[in-house]
Amino acid sequence: VDQRSSDELHSRVEELQRAERRIRLAIEGGRLGTFGWVLPDPAMLLPTSDSSFLNQCGSCEVSDSLYRMFGREPGSVYPTYTAFATQVHPDDLLRLERVLGIASRTGRPVAQETRIVWPDGSIHWVEIRGMFSFSPEGHAFRLDGVMVDIDEKKQAEIHLTESEQNLKLALHAGQLGLWEWNQESGVITCSADSLQIFGYEAGRVEVTWDLYVSHIHAEDLNRVLAILRRAWARQEEVHIEHRIQDAVGAFRWIELRGQFAGDDQKPAARMSGVVSDITHRKLADEELQLRRFAVDVAGEAMLTLQMDGRIVDANQVACERLGYTRQELLRKKLTQNSSPQFDALVQDLTSGRGTHVIPARHRRRDGVVIDVELSAKMFSYRGQDFLCVTARDVTMLRIAQRRHRELDQQLAHMNRLASLGQLASAIAHELNQPLSVVANSAAFLQLGLPDNMIDQQKAVEMCELISSQAVKAGEIVRRMRGFCLNKPPKRSLVNLNKLIEESLQLVEPELRHNRIKAQSDLASSIPMVQVDRVQIQQVLINLIKNSIDAMVESTQKERILRISTIMSQSVISIAVSDSGPGIPIEEQSQIFRPFESSKDDGMGMGLAISRSIVEAHSGRLTVGESAGTGATFFIDLPLRASEGHEQQSS
């Protein structure tokens, strides 16, 4: 019997040991720590505060896992309440001691979450659960309990709280409201932001399905209901944009997004989602569409470009004119379809210069080249520079201008022929002189040579005379021919002093015939200018011829023609003056009009053609009074000496 009792006792001890190991493993696995605090005899306690009372606690028993929950190795410190209190977070200690004091007097269970400061300074959360034991007299003499490591849970709660706060901030910043619709009850639970969108204050109204439907705009009602019914039947996500009339009668646009919370076995009875006020976006979209329509129906091609010429937008006119779709144009650069002047335009804009309009040529998709006039303005958007370019189709204008130039050329040629016709008698007389000398000398040689009536030296002199007079006659014909040829305009570098001298030589017979003295005061050194030689000479001849006619009809005894060149910083001026009767001031503004002439046989086209020629050279033709009598005409031509050409002496 004794042996049997001993075996049973031994078996029960082993069972208790196994149970203790299981409990210890459970405590370790559950991240628990056990403790037992034995309070001293109540008769020995001093009547002090809860903190002093706890500091008078007697011995403590703690598990190894509890040491590790405090960041210490088991047995590294003697377990007392004071050692425990030193590791409780200072902000939590007073509240914990108040809870323990109340529980020791009332017998309530202890349940408190608190923070523990580890020796390395890190902070961890624990939950304290325990129960005081009381004597028959009602005095607490022991506290037994557990501490649970809730650090991961608290960190998750903190992160969850932060996420909720961030979500609220995001919803508020994005003007989003939360809602949940219970189909069975018809009640819609809304956040304050959702109610505000509909014009309500939180807590002032019960939101139901019928209330929501009553706010839907009449024109959108059937569409919205159809979408919701289909989504409900298919249990699919909802995305609707529609108009509402809020509680104060204002119309708004809202965007509604929602989804059902259910599974395949049971259809969901609830839908939750967000609602946002998109009124401003819709108004902006409508304004953008209006502007897009206005740009598309504009009469000219309009393009938005990056600074490298890449097209980022184009209106409908640009697409039709170039033969591409908008999407095709967005993959191109304007420089691929226009001339290199675009680079100069960009350079002018970025450098702040005022050149914003340039001629260019665009190549259509079918290869046809069209003339355009580009005008551009630079602007910045979100820190990036762009160009707004308008391309005006000037193809027909250029054709008309070319035709106009051809007509002007023909008219100018006719004017030159008319001027030459007026000089014909004087030129014929001028030609008769060298031709008579040639004829007489040839006849003399013909008669004298057979009979040896003249010696060899005389014959040589006669031949040289014939040659020189023939050259003189040829020079007169060359000048006449050059003046009358109908060649296309061709600009080259011309010395104006030499051109004036050639013109005076051409009209020299007329001047001599009418007893007019020509005087020239030409600047000693002027640069070459880029002009059409024949056209500028035509202007000079026309002004000289008008001066001759004016002085012939004048009663002035002295007839003087003065031509001078005046050099300024950017302009070379040619002044043609005469000693005629002059031009009255009231008539000076009319003499350049076509078909205005003071001559009985004049067409009135000479000065009009002359002015158009000078203006085509970016110059001016004006009239003024002479220093004495007569009139003075001024030809002002811009100075455009080519780089590398030195000034030419007269």
> Is the predicted pLDDT of residue 605 greater than 70, yes or no?
no
Integer Cα distance of 237 and 122 in angstroms: 46
What pLDDT sits at residue 169?
A: 73
Residue 417's H or E segment, with its range, is helix 395-422
What pLDDT sits at residue 56?
A: 52
User: 640 vs 569, which has greater pLDDT?
Assistant: 569
DSSP H helical ranges for 423-486 = 424-448, 456-484
> What tokens does 204 get?
């002032």
User: 184 vs 107, which has greater pLDDT?
Assistant: 107
User: 433 vs 295, which has greater pLDDT?
Assistant: 295
Burial class from Cβ neighbours inside 10 Å (0-12, 13-18, 19+) for residue 489 reads middle
CATH number of the domain located at residue range(s) 297-393 in this protein: 3.30.450.20
What pLDDT sits at residue 437?
A: 61
Distances (CA, A) of 415 to 69, 412, 427, 538, 632: 115, 5, 17, 9, 21
291 contacts 283 by C-beta, under 8 angstroms:
no
Integer Cα distance of 528 and 495 in angstroms: 5
Integer Cα distance of 346 and 342 in angstroms: 6
Q: How far is CA 37 from the centre of its chain?
A: 77
User: 378 vs 577, which has greater pLDDT?
Assistant: 577
- In a 13 Å sphere around the CA of 219, the CA atoms on its Cβ side amount to 6
What pLDDT sits at residue 45?
A: 43
- When mean pLDDT is compared over 14-18, 250-254, 347-351, 464-468, the highest value belongs to 250-254
Sheet containing 176-182: order of strands: 188-190, 176-182, 270-277, 251-260, 238-245
> Using 50, 70 and 90 to split pLDDT, how confident is the model at 418?
low
235 contacts 268 by C-beta, under 8 angstroms:
yes
What is the number of helices (H) and of strands (E) in the chain?
Answer: 20, 24
> Using 50, 70 and 90 to split pLDDT, how confident is the model at 82?
confident
376 contacts 388 by C-beta, under 8 angstroms:
yes
User: 218 vs 37, which has greater pLDDT?
Assistant: 218
Integer Cα distance of 588 and 233 in angstroms: 91
What pLDDT sits at residue 445?
A: 66
Integer Cα distance of 431 and 473 in angstroms: 6
> Using 50, 70 and 90 to split pLDDT, how confident is the model at 124?
very high
> Using 50, 70 and 90 to split pLDDT, how confident is the model at 341?
low
Mean of the per-residue pLDDT values of the chain: 78
> Using 50, 70 and 90 to split pLDDT, how confident is the model at 256?
very high
Integer Cα distance of 332 and 313 in angstroms: 11
Sign of CA dihedral 488, 490, 495, 496: positive
User: 409 vs 131, which has greater pLDDT?
Assistant: 131
What pLDDT sits at residue 212?
A: 92
Q: For the chain, how many residues are written? A: 650
> What tokens does 174 get?
């994005």
| Mean pLDDT (whole number) for 171-184 | 79
> Is the predicted pLDDT of residue 336 greater than 60, yes or no?
no
What pLDDT sits at residue 90?
A: 93
> Using 50, 70 and 90 to split pLDDT, how confident is the model at 38?
confident
Q: What angle do CA 461, 464, 467 make, to 5 degrees?
A: 155
| Mean pLDDT (whole number) for 4-23 | 68
What pLDDT sits at residue 378?
A: 82
- In a 13 Å sphere around the CA of 520, the CA atoms on its Cβ side amount to 17
Q: Categorise residue 31: left if φ over 0, alpha if ψ from -120 to 50, beta otherwise.
A: left
What pLDDT sits at residue 46?
A: 41
Sign of CA dihedral 162, 164, 166, 168: negative
Residue 218 backbone dihedrals phi, psi, to 5 degrees: -60, -35
Residue 608 backbone dihedrals phi, psi, to 5 degrees: -65, -45
> Is the predicted pLDDT of residue 365 greater than 50, yes or no?
yes
> Using 50, 70 and 90 to split pLDDT, how confident is the model at 48?
very low
Integer Cα distance of 57 and 80 in angstroms: 8
| Mean pLDDT (whole number) for 206-224 | 93
Nearest residue to 57 via CA among 45, 75, 74: 45
Q: Which ranges in the chain are annotated with CATH 3.30.450.20?
A: 31-155, 174-283, 297-393
What pLDDT sits at residue 641?
A: 41
CATH number of the domain located at residue range(s) 490-650 in this protein: 3.30.565.10
CATH for the 31-155 domain, from 3.40.50.300, 2.60.40.1930, 3.30.450.20, 3.10.20.30? 3.30.450.20
Integer Cα distance of 333 and 322 in angstroms: 13
Q: Which ranges in the chain are annotated with CATH 3.30.565.10?
A: 490-650
> Is the predicted pLDDT of residue 171 greater than 80, yes or no?
no
Q: What angle do CA 257, 195, 225 make, to 5 degrees?
A: 45
Pairing, β 517-521 against β 560-567:
parallel
What pLDDT sits at residue 265?
A: 59
3-state SS assignment for residue 145: strand
CATH number of the domain located at residue range(s) 174-283 in this protein: 3.30.450.20
User: 567 vs 438, which has greater pLDDT?
Assistant: 567
Residues of the chain above pLDDT 70, percent: 73
> Using 50, 70 and 90 to split pLDDT, how confident is the model at 647?
very low
473 contacts 431 by C-beta, under 8 angstroms:
yes
| Mean pLDDT (whole number) for 51-65 | 67
Integer Cα distance of 638 and 353 in angstroms: 21
3-state SS assignment for residue 632: strand
